[in-house]
Amino acid sequence: MKNFLVLFVLLFLAGAVLFAGCSQSQVPATPSPTPAPATVPATPTPPPDTVMVAANPLYGQILTDANGRTLYYFLKDVPGNGTSACSGACAGIWPAFSVASIRVSPPLRASDFGTINRTDGTTQTTYMGWPLYSFRNDTAPGDTNGYGFNRLWYVMAPTGAVTLAPTTTVPTTTPTTVPTTIYYGGGGY
């Protein structure tokens, strides 16, 4: 019986050890750090359009350069003939618009733009065959001070249609006196 008692105590101890091992609370494993999400490279910002369409309160939709300066055409130019009728002093007042490559968004199409070589060796951008110009007296984006100048200079519409009349009544911008700082030389510019 003594052996039985020793055996019983040993079994009891063994059971207690087993029971203690099973009932101990498990220490949660330290979570492994979650890897940071892979950085998605930023999508590069596309370069700005070189010619844009702007809404003008007087003339409707007009073409502007990337800085919002109004683009004009000259009635003495012949669209599609590859030349500009504005040179010399005229080009000082009406600088030729020129960009190395055309970037536009709808409704404009890059295929409607071209380039001509001017007599002074520079290039000039055209739209639907018309050479494009800016006006030296337009000092801020959206200015249209050259509209109707000498009844030869007008803003260009995105449709390519020449804009001879404003969408609302506006005072004429044709000067009543010739500024002394501008030489017109009879060219009508």
- Would you state the pLDDT for residue 23? 52
**Confidence tier at 26 by pLDDT (50, 70, 90):** low
Q: The tokens of 58 are what?
A: 């007087």
- Beta carbons within 8 Å of 137's beta carbon, 6+ residues apart: 93, 143, 145, 146
- Would you state the pLDDT for residue 7? 47
**pLDDT tens-place string over residues 60-116:** 999 999 999 999 999 999 999 999 999 999 999 999 999 999 999 999 999 999 999
SS3 of 20-44: the string is HHHHCCCCCCCCCCCCCCCCCCCCC
Query: Rounded to the nearest 10 degrees, how much is the dihedral formed by the CA atoms of 133, 137, 143, 147?
Result: -60
**pLDDT tens-place string over residues 106-125:** 999 999 999 999 999 999 99
Quick check: is 131 in a domain?
yes
Quick check: is 28 in a domain?
no
**How large is the average pLDDT for residues 33-57?**
81
Q: Strands 72-74 and 130-131: what pairing?
A: unpaired
Quick check: is 148 in a domain?
yes
Quick check: is 79 in a domain?
yes
Quick check: is 44 in a domain?
no
The per-residue pLDDT of the chain, averaged, comes to 79
How many independent structural domains does the chain possess? 1
Domain coverage including residue 149: 51-155
Cβ(56)–Cβ(48) below 8 Å: no
Quick check: is 7 in a domain?
no
